[in-house]
Chains A and B, each alone.
Chain A
């Protein structure tokens, strides 16, 4: 049984909606609403959901790049949500992030060697400039970019290469956990497998733990050990990967799996087409948030919000269908 590296407890992040001349708060966007889960050392936890479900906000809140409204994030025994700004900065060494957009996540005016070295400079790792750049070179080679390119600028590289540079930057601090926020979504199809394989290899080599945020279930299935499904700010299901795909419990998760197109013309699957749009996180439905679109709806669903319960060993679901 692996160690629990990160615990998220009742995390809440609301964004205020301000209107009028005096910027009064007229409502809240309930982006993340009471989310709890754990990440174990060495695993890849796949966090999946569609737009507006709160998965990216969750990842950013864990990193304190967004300030959580309520709740706790316990990393290595310390509660990050209660820390001072200066302590958080020190903590950043241990938690890194790879962003979705390779084009805007690298400062266009910095040479890539400085982009990768910036973290080390900030945390006073390898004070000697020569040693620092030597490490930059090693990191670049490890992610598949020739070290002699280190004096170049981001615009001289392709999207896939820039993503590799972003990975090298995250690795430079030797973090314990890396958030991959849609790390391959913006890349061409033929490049995605390069980056996915790289991430997998690096995980083994550096004993990394990943929180992999994505909307693409196929990628999640390939790379994750466990899966967390979010809908409109809430977690609806958590399970080991195999268990999740073999025995999907939550109706939304079932619909999600059914909606993913499979590159196999003979593939037969249960056709579940959901009605309507995703409601706005400013005005989530009463009771179970999924109930207006649910094809297994019962009377209780529009009244009472289901709690996340452990239905089988390690398999959690928030749905009134299961006791």
Chain B
């Protein structure tokens, strides 16, 4: 353990990843303090104005909105859109902060469940082999043959919009990689003598998988999972951009980028005048994915010699 921590902190790229991740964690944890919610659902981005067009950074909440809050008795704790507003007046800064929580939710939950399913299926397949392995692998192949984005879109169209449906799609079409990964590892690990030794002691098969095979093969899956957290967020963002993800006004970076669709180019004569609608959510996505990738990379480098048994 200590060796892993030491190595994690010893190289520049991994330090960058860790620092970024810590910043994101802090943002997510302290979201209610950094950007106090103005409605019952904190994930509902407050609107700063009724204008369709995005407003530049520094825009103050327009009077008619402030009036609404006063009338409904909600305290307006802040009224300046530091990063500007997106289409429809939604505050970008607020969306960035609460979007961090959303990103973590999507990334961690989707990866965790997909990995769990994948590992379960893959280890059964590898350990028992024979026709069980053949059938399971063919099913895996079928799932793999669907082009991911298209399949996810179809699924969300059937199930309806919403981030939870997006997560379902990510899981349903995301477990295969883990299954194959663990299957490969277990196929080779199961030939190791210590597995035969456990059999010779009379240990039951399920226990052998759980106690001997999985602990020795789970590391590549963990590395892969870590790297995937970032890509899950990007895929969710892509789905939101395509309109099948989060609903309008939801604090999700992808959703915010999708809002910027019509404003990316800007008005004639003022190219890029609405840069902030794309830049801010975009940079958050990039940095988030970068953080996980860097950490995943370092984990893989650390764990590689371990995979050879050097602990």
Contact = CB atoms under 8 A, between A and B. Distances in A.
A93 B202 contact: yes
Contacts of A104: 192-194
Given A107-B212, A108-B216, A155-B310, A119 B193 contact: no
Interface in A73-111: 88-90, 92-93, 96-97, 99-101, 103-110
A173 B201 CA distance: 8
A109 B216 contact: yes
Interface in A189-230: none
Highest count of chain B CB atoms <10 Å: which of A89, A97, A108, A119 = A108
A307 B193 CA distance: 35
Contact of A89 (B193, B197, B202, B311): B202
Nearest to A103: B309
A139 to B, nearest CB: 14
Given A99-B193, A104-B194, A155-B310, A119 B202 contact: yes
Contacts of A65: 196, 199-200
Contacts of A90: 202
B73 interface: no
B124 interface: no
A88 B200 CA distance: 10
Contacts of B215: 107, 109
A155 B309 contact: yes
A123 B202 contact: yes
Contacts of A153: 311
B311 A155 contact: yes
B112 interface: no
B203 interface: yes
Contacts of A166: 197
Interface residues of B, number: 20
B223 interface: no
A93 B203 CA distance: 11
B3 interface: no
Nearest to A179: B200
Contacts of B201: 92, 96, 118-119, 122, 169, 173
A192 B215 CA distance: 32
B78 to A, nearest CB: 52
Contact of B194 (A89, A96, A106): A106
Contacts of B138: none
B311 to A, nearest CB: 5
A95 to B, nearest CB: 8
B194 A118 contact: no
B204 interface: yes
Interface string B291-311: 000000000000000000111
Highest count of chain A CB atoms <10 Å: which of B192, B193, B310 = B193
Given A118-B203, A122-B203, A123-B202, A108 B311 contact: yes
Highest count of chain B CB atoms <10 Å: which of A103, A105, A166 = A105
A60 to B, nearest CB: 8
B310 A101 contact: no
Interface string B206-246: 01000110011000000000000000000000000000000
B200 A97 contact: yes
A107 B211 CA distance: 10
B82 to A, nearest CB: 50
B311 A118 contact: no
Contacts of A88: 202
A112 to B, nearest CB: 12
A101 B215 CA distance: 21
Contacts of B200: 63, 65, 92, 96-97
Given A107-B198, A153-B311, 12 more contacts: A92-B202, A96-B200, A97-B200, A101-B193, A104-B194, A105-B197, A108-B309, A118-B198, A122-B201, A122-B202, A123-B202, A155-B309
Interface of B: 192-194, 196-204, 207, 211-212, 215-216, 309-311
List 4 tightest A-B contacts by C-beta distance, closest first.
A92-B202, A89-B202, A105-B193, A119-B201
10 contacts: A89-B202, A93-B202, A99-B193, A105-B197, A107-B215, A118-B198, A122-B207, A155-B310, A166-B197, A173-B201
